[in-house]
Structure 1
């Protein structure tokens, strides 16, 4: 853009009212100006001395030494230097004066502006713009065709020649309708011109002869069509990849060059219990650091991880770099956990490791050691947590512990955990199931026998369970099934800490801690004479009453999660969850077989499950029937069972609420609330 100051002619001479005709003539001759600005000593404009004034002074016969003052025009046209350029253009167009005086911001004379200067500047600017426009048009991808008022071509650029397939020389100075018949009939609205595969824009302009010329712009869309085709191909490819991911059997994950997750498959989300919206476009090292997918950006090599485990499911990660021009631009993580054919070598190594582990596990079992700790007893029930704390305290001492509860509630787990958290944890943990061993062999199992003690006895005799457990713990399971005669001998061992082997006469001293367990009502058995009262009090030093699963419904879902993790590891399955319908059936069931029954049902369902999740049809029929039973009926049945259990406990304890609460595995205040609920009179 031209600036005003660039077209002003500076005034570098001083003309005042005292200047003589001779001096004025010299300046006019030298500068060739049309007027001289007349100023005072401070450069303030006083008027102008024009060529016509000069001529008049000469004609009047004025001497050369005469001052020019009488011929100065007082009314002089002036323009400030800060006047906008567009106003200058308008002034030049309308003014009848050929030259104007230019003033600075303080209204001091600084120069002259002539129409010649203005025209020259505009011509220079126009030429510059013309050169710039031609450069732009020559290098533009838009084809340009221009006609004059007679519709003859006056301009065409290389882009149009390429689009039309005609050389510029064959187009110039020819009638447009002759070269491209009907082109001007296309209308002025931008539209698709199929012949040149372009978008055509037609506009008009005014020529120097005030005629109407045409400018035609052709925007080539062949490149756009090609890009659209490529984009469509990319969209189809993306859809194919997404469909593959959605139906992939194993877990698949993709990242970009910044290691941000761009795609993820549902099986992977299920395995790691994630939600797609919380994973996409997040750093993979932040969301799934265990995959270590960032390794391929540094190594630039595909690699396979060792075996890992999630929810009891073993998996391996195949890390694959995505390369372009030798540079890693992303990564693919393939999490294989449902079939491992591609990693048979690792699988063989695992098999060998498992065989060794199984062998050592069998040897460990033979060595009579406790396998469970408090962490294996899964519960969120407040009473169960309190019971575990009480049992952990009892474990620190030497007193006999009696664990009571229905079959399948986990009495043996408590016994194992008590041993492992006691001072005898380094000693052996010996289990005797009093209901599984025939009565005539139970005594020899307990105390062992000497050589030749009875027919069929081993030649060197045999040591008993008490001998094996010396210095450790003896767990007597189902002690309510022990005969009265053996109860008497067991009582002597508990009191005297010594015994005689069968067929022997040497006293054997032992240091054994007893943990007993039963699902029977020992108090009732004492009344009926089926269990020795003195042994009952000897065993019932510390009593732990494990509540049935139906009394801690909130534990069912928590146990399902833990048991599924354990069973996945044991069965080699890859079950990631359970359907809502199947979960409803499990939660509505009363579980008379307690945790043992729950574990068996889950083992069956996980064996039959075919879709990665347990469905309702994978459950036993008696459990599926829970879905069709009204909830009110289920509640009624549960209440009837609860009421019956409370009445039985109160009856067994002769109305003693504290003892009844212990038998039921609930708090005393909880028992009072239930007595009030069922309006029992005690």
Structure 2
């Protein structure tokens, strides 16, 4: 856009010689112009009517119906849209009316340029230019100063103040010779460069002159910190060293490496490949890879962008493989790397074969013997009580003392038992689990101690080893020990005391070295009082006791466990859940979790299956959970209401509903729980009409 057009005031209407004094007054009052263009009937500019002309007519006490024709100034200057700022500046300086009239190619006025608008525009341009120059100096990393004709500093930029480690106010009006001792104004007649030292820093200075408005010359000095240049040179040298190191790594880290660009031309090949494929006499770099090394088949990878590995190939009796890797820049394939492996390939294959054999043996061994699967590191908790229990469990694991783990169903008692065994000296030994509540009572004894051939009808011909046999040298975990019969309790007590037992139907005494870890969700003390559990066995089991707190008493762990379950279940079920709605989190925290961690995992598995958008929503949770925490009505309202509630409104509605449930419908008590007045509560109830208390 032309500079004149930027600063002019557009003219939409003008005066004519036939306009009266009254009309001119009204026009100038409306436009607030001191100078008004006057045109003929064709719209062509013929002069201007100024405020001084207006005053003249008023002083002459002319009638307001008098036309302005005789008071028009005709000898005026005009400008066009093509007028430069320099021409405009000169025009305004000599203008008698202080306002320039902008005309088009037909001589019709299209705008006004006042002295104030021009000055403001010039000032803005000057400030803009100053800012641009300072930005250039800043990005060029140069310090700069200017002086007047006496050599006194009148300007310094911020970069120079940091270079010289002096504030701006100390540098301004200082003589240039104090900073640049080599400067002598009398002998200075051309631009010069020299090196100076200031406070242990070295600078290259360019000193030149500039013309001042008064016709005299001032000085401009530009400073470049040589130390920075020397650092850059050192960095460049370091880069060269790294290049040499990387070249050596490329030459030796892989058996062979070849790179091609997006055109399929070789841009690098390691010397080992030149020797392997006998390419000494060929021009390689810049040549098409399909001409030099077609058997590597790198071009298909360049087209597909998919990395792959070749089958075994052979050259001169040497087996080799090619790993083809595409190279991307942003989303564009710019080349392919071919990594060739051939050295000691036979030995590598032999080691892999041995490794696979060992893996197979371990898998067979693990199928025969049950082992511990968890450690204390896999018990996730942020609860202080749980952390204390884990520290105590690690200490208890060091001995062979019998341990009793208490806790509600689903709190992780078996996981805790696994962790204790893993931390013990026999952690690599067997970990055998017996669920005393899951095995029929008449089979418990044979399960524990095994049986001899022909011990009972249906017994195996060679007999069977019991759990104590299998756990020898390790741990026997008795889950739900409170469900064991009194008869079996007596036999278990003997094993714990004597460390020996007889198989069912057998006469040979068998000695075992087994650690017992028992778990129960029942109160063994109450069972002892009722005669349902042997007192002597209770004291034998209760040497070291751990009470696993239920999930409702360790609320901090709910979200921690939830994140772990989401990751585990995504892998297990192929889902893609990344999080949950804040209302889901609130529901999880409000629920009491009677089934503890087991229930939490089951709820997440169900919710993740039903979730449709990657984030679990309130509607994905089981109905019984939502009803228990009072969120079921909210779900029903969401399904029947078209406009969605805000998160704040949802939370507010739930809080009111829960307060009414806790107060059994007593609104005064609900107000106290919520911390609001009855009138506010009634307003909210009216707003959320779906809230009811059953």
Tell me which interval the TM-score lies in, with the shorter structure as reference length: 0.3 to 0.5
Return the index of the structure with the highest Cα Rg. Answer: 1
Please, what TM-score do these two structures have when normalized by structure 1? 0.43
